[in-house]
Chain A
C-alpha cells in the first residue's frame, strides 16, 4: 500500500531580504485510500507544501524527509516524482503555447505509464473522461490552458488526475474560483478517483465548501508553517463555525 511520509519538512524561499523559512517542520503521513484535508489561512504555507512535494525549483528544502513507499522523494527530479506517482493539481495551471491538450495528455500518459497507451483505447479513455467532466470535445485541440476559463483549467487538472492515476494526489486549492456547478463536477471527478481506493489524497483548501462534496478522513489545520491541529471531519465543522482566528493569533502569518 502506497504511503507518503513527510517528516519534519522545512522549506525556505529566497527573497530580496534573504532566505525566509515557510515550512517549519511538517509531519504528515498519507496512505493510499485516505483523504486528508489541509486547511489554513492565506500565507500559512499550504501551497508551499504542495509545490515542495512536487519539486518546484523555487523552494529550497532545508530539513526533513519525504518518502513514497520508502523512496526518497526529495532526491527525485520533478518528472521523476510524477512518474513515481505524485500528482499535483495546480491552483494556477500555466499556459503552454503550441502544445495541444490531446498531445500533452498522451505525452504525459506515455511518460507516467512507461509506454505509449494503445491509440484506440486511449482515444476512448480520454473521450469518456472528458464527458464525465462535461468538457467539450473541441477542448482537446486547444493549447494547454491557453484561454481557458478558471473552471476549464480546474477540469483539465482533474482530467489529468483521472487519466494519470497517481498514488498520491495533491489538490492545491482546486475549489478556488469555481462556481457551484463547476465545484460539483470537479468534486465528482476527484471522488471517482478516490473511490478506486488506489490514491491517497491531500486536499488543500482555504474553504470548507468543497468538503461538502469530498468527505475527508482527516482534517489538519495548517498555520505558521506547520500543522497546528489534526482531527476528523468534525474539525472542519469547527473551522466553519469559528474560522482560523485562534490559529492565527500570535502567529507569524502576514
Chain B
C-alpha cells in the first residue's frame, strides 16, 4: 500500500547540478524543539539541518550575536470582523501551533518584543484577504505573528516581505475545526536581506489549509513551513515557488506530521535557478505516525536550472509508521535548460529569449494557477517575466 519513490524525471543532473536524494530521518535534529534559544547549541554547519546553509551569511542569527537594532515597517489590512492584538509572549495562543525547531527560530522566539495576534471569529467568511505588509528598513528585527482562524471561518492571509534587513520570525496559523485558510508568504526582499522563519500550521478537525510560499529575493532565505493535525479529516496543500538568482541562497524545509487519522497532504514546490552561485535547497519531510491511519500524502519538488553555476539540493523524505494508509509518495527531479534544448526550440523558429520564457513559464504555469489569489498570481507572472528579462 505504501509506496515511496524518488523518480528523477529531469533531463540531466550532470555538471554543476547536485541532487541529493539520500534518506534522512525527519526528526534528526541536533536538539529537540524548544522555545528557549539556550537549548540549542550554536551550529557549526555540519549538522543535518544546517549542512546546506551558509552560516557566515546569517548575520549572527544563529550564534547569538544578532541583536534587535532594526526597523520593520508593518502594515496590517484586516477586513471587518477581524481583530488585531499585540500580546506578550505568555499569551496562550503564542507558540500553540508549534515549537521552534532550530536555534534561529528559538532566537526569534526569545527575542521578539510583542507578538501580533490576528483573529478571525467563528464562522466568519472573509470577502477580502488579510494583508500584512512587512517592509524592512535595515538592521535586525524579530517577530512573532499568530493567525487564529476560529472554527468554520474562511480566510486568505497574505504576508508580503519587501525591503532590506535581517529578519527572524515565527508565524503560527491556528486553523479551527472546519475552517478554510489560504496562507501566502511572499519573500520579495532586496538582494541583501536575510530572512529566517518557521511557519507552524495546526489544523483542526476537517480543516483545510493551503500554504503558498513564494521566494524571489534575499541574500539568504531559510523557511520552515510545517503542518500538524489536531484532529481527523484535515487537508493541507503546500505550494512553493522560488526563483533563485546568482549568489542567492533560498532554502525551504518542509515537514508534514501526520499524527491524526484520515488526513491528506499534498506538497508541490518548484524552483528555477540562474546565475553563478545560485543555491536552492528543498527538504521535504513527511512523517506518518502510527496513529495516522488512512493518510494520503504526496510531495514533489521540481527544479529547472537555467544556467551553469547554479546548485540544487533536493531531499524528499518519507517516514511511515503505519501501513494502513491510502497513499504516500514523493518525487524530486532537477532538469536543466541547456544549449540542445535551446537549439531544438530555435530550430522550430522560436527566438532564443522567447524559448527561455516558454520553458520557464511552462514550468511554473500549473503551480501558479493553483494559488487561487488573483493579484498574487498576476504579480508572480510579472515577477517571473522580470527575472527572465534581467537574465537575457
12 contacts between A and B (CB under 8 A): A79-B346, A79-B347, A90-B347, A97-B335, A98-B361, A99-B358, A100-B362, A103-B358, A111-B348, A112-B348, A112-B349, A144-B344
Give CA–CA (A95, B354) in the complex, Å.
Answer: 17
Secondary structure type dominating chain B contacts: helix
Out of A81, A83, A94, A98, name the residue touching B344 (CB < 8 Å): A94
The complex places the Cα of A32 from the Cα of B286 at a distance, in Å, of 61
Contact A96 B349 (CB under 8 A): no
* Alpha-carbon separation in the docked complex, A54 to B345 (Å): 12
Per-residue B-contact encoding for A111-124, CB less than 8 Å = 1, 0 else: 11000000000000
Q: For the complex formed, measure the closest distance between the CB of B289 and the CB atoms of chain A, giving whole angstroms.
A: 35
What 1/0 flags go to B138-173 for Cβ under 8 Å of A?
A: 000000000000000000000000000000000000
Q: Bound complex: CA of A111 vs CA of B361, how far in Å?
A: 17
**Is B112 on the interface with A (CB-CB < 8 A)?**
no
How distant is A204 from chain B, measured CB to nearest CB, in Å? 15
* CB atoms of A82 and B354 under 8 A apart: no
Q: A57-B339, A111-B351 are in contact. Are A98 and B9 (CB under 8 A)?
A: no
For chain A residues 51-95, which have a beta carbon within 8 Å of chain B? 54-57, 77-79, 81-83, 87-88, 90, 93-95
B-side contacts of A77, CB under 8 Å = 346, 351-352
Contact, CB under 8 Å: A99 / B359: yes
Contacts of B358 in A (CB 8 A): 99, 103-104, 107
B50 within 8 A of A: no
Separation in Å of the A7 CB from the closest CB of chain B? Answer: 23
Which residue of A55, A88, A96 contacts B345 across the interface (Cβ within 8 Å)? A96
Residues of A within 8 A of B325 (CB): none
Cβ distance A156 to chain B, nearest Cβ, rounded Å: 11
- In Å, the complex CA distance between A94 and B12 comes to 11
B18 CB–A CB distance under 8 Å? no
In the complex with contacts A97-B10, A99-B362, A108-B343 CB distance below 8 A: no
In the complex the two chains form, what is the Cα distance from A56 to B340 in whole Å? Answer: 9
- Interface residues in B347-385 (C-beta closer than 8 Å to A): 347-352, 354, 358-364
Judge whether A147 is part of the interface by a CB distance below 8 angstroms: yes
| Contacting pair A108 B362 (CB below 8 A) | no
Q: Is A98 a contact of B349 with CB atoms below 8 Å?
A: no
Cβ–Cβ < 8 Å partners of B335 in chain A: 95, 97-98
Min distance, Cβ B113 to any Cβ of chain A, angstroms:
44
Whether A54 touches B347, Cβ cut-off 8 Å, given contacts A100-B362, A104-B358, A146-B9, is yes
B residues less than 8 Å from A146 (CB atoms): 9, 11
Residue B337 is within 8 A (CB to CB) of chain A in the complex: yes
Residues on A with beta carbons closer than 8 Å to the beta carbon of B343? 54, 56-57, 78, 94
In the bound assembly, the distance between CA atoms of A93 and B360 in angstroms comes to: 19
Are A160 and B344 CB-contacts (below 8 A) given A57-B339, A97-B304, A97-B359? no
Bound complex: CA A13 to CA B385 (Å): 36
Which of chain B's residues have a CB closer than 8 A to the CB of A54? 343, 347
Residues of B within 8 A of A108 (CB): 345, 348-350
Contact A94 B340 (CB under 8 A): yes
Q: Would you give the shortest CB distance from B242 to chain A, in whole angstroms?
A: 15
Q: Most chain-A Cβ atoms within 10 A of its Cβ — which of B10, B335, B343, B358?
A: B343
Q: Is B341 on the interface with A (CB-CB < 8 A)?
A: yes
A49 in contact (CB, < 8 A)? no
Known A78-B343, A93-B344, A107-B358: A98·B363 in contact at CB below 8 Å? yes
Say whether B348 contacts A160, CB under 8 Å: yes
Q: A97 to B361: give the CA distance in the assembly, Å.
A: 11
Partner of B352, one of A79, A83, A95, A96: A79
CA distance A145 to B339 in the complex (A): 16
Q: Given that A104-B348, A111-B350, A146-B9 are known contacts, is A94 also in contact with B341, CB under 8 Å in the complex? A: yes
**Interface contact A98-B348, CB-CB below 8 Å:** no
Residues of A within 8 A of B345 (CB): 96, 99, 104, 108
User: Which of chain A's residues has its CB closest to B10's CB?
Assistant: A97
A164 at the interface (CB under 8 A from B): yes
Report how far A88 CA is from B349 CA in the complex, Å.
Answer: 11
Please tell me if the beta carbons of B359 and A83 are within 8 angstroms of each other in the complex: no
The CA of A15 and the CA of B320, in the complex, are separated in Å by 51
Contact bitstring A141-183, B, C-beta under 8 A = 1, else 0: 0011011000000000000100010000000000000000000
**Chain B neighbourhood of A144, CB < 8 A:** 344
CA distance A77 to B350 in the complex (A): 11
The CA-CA distance from A130 to B369 in the complex, in Å, is 28
